[in-house]
Every structure is written in structure tokens, then in C-alpha cells.
Structure 1
Amino acid sequence: MTSLPALLAAAEPVEGGFRAHVPANWLQGRTAYGGFSSALALEAALRCEPDLPPLRSAQIAFIGPLAGAVTVTATKLRRGRNAAFVQADVTSDAGLGLRATFVFMAERESAVRHDAGLATDRRPPAPDQALYQGPPEFFTSNFQFLDLKAEAHGPTEWLRWGRLIEREGLHPAVELMAVADALPPAAMKLLGSFGPVSSLTWQLNLTTSPPQTQDGWWLLRAEADAAAGGSSSQNMTLWNAEGLLAVQAMQSVALFV
């Protein structure tokens, strides 16, 4: 089993990024888990430009399968006084598998402040609670989870506490990226069982900087708002252990059933 910190530490530097290998324990089917490949892309973006401000937004396209040896490169698109845009690509022998645009922006004084009341009073698992960990040949083996099945509302909502087991040394935003996609696509709840699905795009907005939580715990929520014609649109939310909103996201998912 290869942890994300160990994989990044062993990555081979190349021009504009690094080369790494997707181990079996980071796969979901025939491709890398989306949070893993997105974390690789963010790591390359952070390495390509010095002294970046906090990550504020990410736009990710899951273009094709990623497995085996991958090359991760990043390019600065523009950097102004407050914001920087960096593009990152992840490629394999099969070609381009992921393209991401990351937006980094420093905090600034503003007269605008608004809180929509999206905090939660749910708290992370107690030390003695039984946690779920996936099988060694699947990406969920890298996480600990506690499902909140009784608290989920409606036919398509997932609600789950999750944390990355090996996270020492990771940039906080890279750790967050690795965790934030760890729920199954919400439309799968309509199937009643796991089926062939594939994420197409993922848009994330971070509401805190830098992202912080206690003992690695994040509360993940996903809910499909619409599903028809072989695709679904879902909203996603992530809170830290103190119940503060950390991420709002949207994802498009292809359904092959």
C-alpha cells in the first residue's frame, strides 16, 4: 500500500512537474480515484509557482482514464497582485487524463461579508466509534469513514465523515483535495447498488484559507439534484470538524446504466 505523502516524496522531477506511478490502492476501477489525481495536479501547481496565496477555486475535467505511470505538469497562466491562475495536466500512456485550472487568491479587506448559515452542529466520530475502511485494492483503503445514514435526507443524499489515514507532510489544500471527492456519486443511491459511473467535471470553491480541521476529519455531503439521459448533476459540501463550511462544489457525472 502506497500513501499519498510517500508517493509525492518519491516522485521523479521532470521539466514543469513530476512523474509518478498510480498504485493499485489508489484505483477505482480502471482509473485513478478522482480526488487522488486532482491532488497530484494541485501538488504540481503548488510546485510550479513560488509563494502562491491560498487556493480559492478549482475547475477540473476528468478527460480519460489514468493508471500506471503518469506525468503531472503545471503552467502559470497569469499572476496579478492578488490572484494567480495555474493550469495542471495529468497524462499517461493513454493520453491526457485530467486538466485542472486552479485559482489562488490572497485575502483582502472588503466591505462585503455574508454568512448563509451553512455551518453544522455535527461533530466528528468519537475515539471509540467503529470506522469503515475500504479493501486494499480500492482507493477507500486510504481513508477512515463514518456513514451518517440515519441523518441523510432524501433519496440521493450521501453524508459521511472521512479522513485520510496517511496525511503527514501534505499541503493542507492537497489533503483537502484528496478527501473532498471520497463519496460515491450521489445518483448511485437511485440504483440501489454500485454501477458503472464516471465523473466528468468538478468545480470547487474554498470558503476558508488555509483549510484546517481537527485530526483530519471532514464532513462530506453530496446530493444529486437531477439525473436523466445518462448523466447527473450533484452539489457537494464539505465542513471541518468544528462545523465550519470549507468547500462548496458541483460535479457532473456520467451514468452508464
Structure 2
Amino acid sequence: MDFAQLLDAVRTHPQAVTIPAHWGQGRAVYGGLMAALLYQAMASHVQVPLRTLALTFVGPVAPEVPVSIEVEVLRQGKSVTSLLARARQGGATLTVAQASFGAPRQSMVAVTAMPVAAMKPLAECIPIDYIEGVTPAYIRQLAMRWGIGALPFSATPSLAIGGWMRVREPQPAQPLDEAYLLLLADVWPPAVLPHLAAPAAGSTLSWTIELVQPMPALTTAQWLRYRAQIEHARDGYGHTAAAIWSEAGELVAISRQTVTVFG
């Protein structure tokens, strides 16, 4: 089942969505996919664009086991609608998302977006391809080119990682909407992993992403730029701030994560 089919499953049968193993990340379903699916379930209840999405990954969602997605409208105001979504499996809540969708409003405030991060040209970056037993299964669906900082488990104390990313499929290209952006936004490993000298587990504990609306008119065939900066790390927890830009340098999203690392 590809990404578009999973989105359709959420729209039509949110009480029983089965995610294939090729969307796996270790023993769990890839977090970016869970974010996209919960967003899609909430988007069915509103007619205005997503502004912010905050997720907590309570426990691992297992692939090949039906997931139930429940949505609650917390408040619907004149401009902003707040919703809560839960992904449940086996009776347990495993992912929680709180989102704010908001219509545009008149304002005198207009601030230029942060400049695009400097990184190597796409052709000079290292491709990250799927290697069985080494990289997560979801890498077969998403393309990455490493262009900032050191690779994971290289014992290199770099403060930032990043590069280029896009969806490998579908063909022909589709409009890059909020669901596709969320799918891509979590593809990068925790920024603390280059500090380690040997492979160790790491995962996202909480994630907040803010979308710049209106989104630029992009397609899934175009590359996005990504940069994550470590702000603090200690006691097995890392705190990072990230941003996503279009290939042309337009700011698309701002992201923050708290990650756990076992090493």
C-alpha cells in the first residue's frame, strides 16, 4: 500500500488502517507517516489550512496490525479550529496529535522569513539509500541527500545535520501538500546520532511542526532543503530545532523535536 492509498484509507475507514511493514522504522511505524495520517484524519473536519501540529509518540505503532484513528474537535472559533487525534492499537493510545488549523486574517505584522541554510549543491551530497538491516525500511519510499554535518555513528560532534529530501514516488509527480510535507519532515535521523561512535537506538519523543501558509506551489518531484540544529543534549535526551525550505529557498516549515538516544 502506497502513501496515497494510506491517506485514502484514513479518509474512508479510520477505525481500521493497516500500515505495511515497508513503512517501518525498527519495530515501529515511521513517525512522519503517523503524523501525516493523523493530520489527514483531522483535515477531514476543517476547511482551513494547518498552522501547527504537536505530536507525542507514546509508544511504537506496529506495522501490519490495524490502527484506529480517533478525532475530537476541541474548539471551533471564527478563525482557528483546534483538534485532537489519537492513534490506538490493541486498546492502547500510541500516538497523540494536537493541531491548530487557521484561516488567514488581516494584520500589519509582516516579518521576512529566516534565510535558507547554506548547504552543498544536490549533486555533491551523499545519497542515503535503503540497505537491508542498516537503514530503516521507510527509506525505500523517501529520497535523501546528506549535505550538512557528519553521518550518524561517526563520532563527530557536529551541531547540525541536513541536506535534501523528496518523495521517491509517485510518478507522475503530485502536488506537495501538507500530508506529503509531514511525511518528509521526519525522515532525518536525530541530529545527535553523529556524536556516537557505534550504532544505537534513537527515537522522537515529541515533535512540533509549524507550517508557513500559504504553502509554496511545489510538487513531489521537487527537492526540499532541511537543516536541524542541536540546542541541548544530555542524559539521553536531545533538543533540536529545524527548518525546511523549498529548493528555491522559500521557508516551508519550522520544526522542534525532543529525541531519546540510547548510547
Asked if Structure 1 and Structure 2 have the same fold, meaning a TM-score greater than 0.5 normalized by the shorter chain, the answer is: yes
Unaligned ranges ≥5, structure 2 = none
Deviations 1:202-239 (A, max 9, x none): 01111232354352421111122211111110111111
Go from structure 1 to structure 2 and tell me whether the alpha carbon gap of 1:234 and 1:142 turns closer, same or farther (over 3 Å shift). same
1:222 aligns with 2:228: yes
Give the letter for the 1:113 counterpart: A
Taking only the aligned residue pairs, the percentage that are identical comes to 25
Provide the residue aligned with 1:234 in structure 2: 240
The count of aligned residue pairs is 251
Which residue number corresponds to residue 17 of structure 2? 20
TM-score, normalised to structure 2's length? 0.85
Match of 1:86 among 65, 83, 86: 83
Aligned to 2:37: 40
C-alpha distance in 2 between matches for 1:254 and 1:193: 16
Distance of 2:252 and 2:258 partners within structure 1: 20
Alignment of 1:161-200 (within 5 A): 161-167=164-170, 172-200=177-205
1:71 aligns with 2:68: yes
Identify the range of structure 1 (230-239 vs 215-224) with the bigger mean alpha-carbon deviation: 215-224
Partner of 1:134: 130
Distance 1:192 1:248 in 2: 29
Alignment pair present for 1:96 and 2:96: no
* RMSD of aligned alpha carbons: 2.7
AA aligned opposite 2:3: L
Return 5+ residue gaps in structure 1 as ranges.
none
Q: In 2 relative to 1, CA 129–230 (structure 1 residues): closer, same or farther, beyond 3 Å?
A: closer
Which residue matches 1:244?
Answer: 250
Question: Residue 192 and residue 218 in structure 1: after superposition, are their counterparts in 2 closer, same or farther (change >3 A)?
Answer: farther
On the 8 A contact 2:119/2:148 being kept in 1, the answer is no
Partner SS for 2:8: helix
Q: Deviations over 1:20-40 (max 9, x none)?
A: 112111111111111011111
Alpha-carbon distance change, 151 to 29 in structure 1, aligned in 2, over 3 angstroms: closer
Distance (whole Å) between structure 1 residues aligned to residue 247 and residue 116 of structure 2? 11
8 Å contact from structure 1 (residues 236, 249) kept in 2: yes
Do the aligned residues in 1 keep the contact of 2:149 with 2:160 (CA within 8 Å)? no
Offset at residue 8 of structure 1 (A) = 2.6
Q: What is the DSSP-based 3-state SS (H/G/I as helix, E as strand, rest coil) of the residue aligned with 1:163?
A: strand
Change (3 A) 1:18 1:243: farther
Give the alignment's TM-score, normalised by structure 1: 0.87
Contact 2:143 2:167 (8 Å CA) reproduced:
yes
CA gap of 1:146–1:65, structure 2 versus 1, over 3 A, is same
Structure 1 pair 242/151, CA: closer, same or farther in 2 (3 Å)? farther
Instruction: Give the match for residue 56 of structure 2.
Output: 61
* Contact kept in structure 1, 2:82 and 2:98, CA below 8 Å: yes
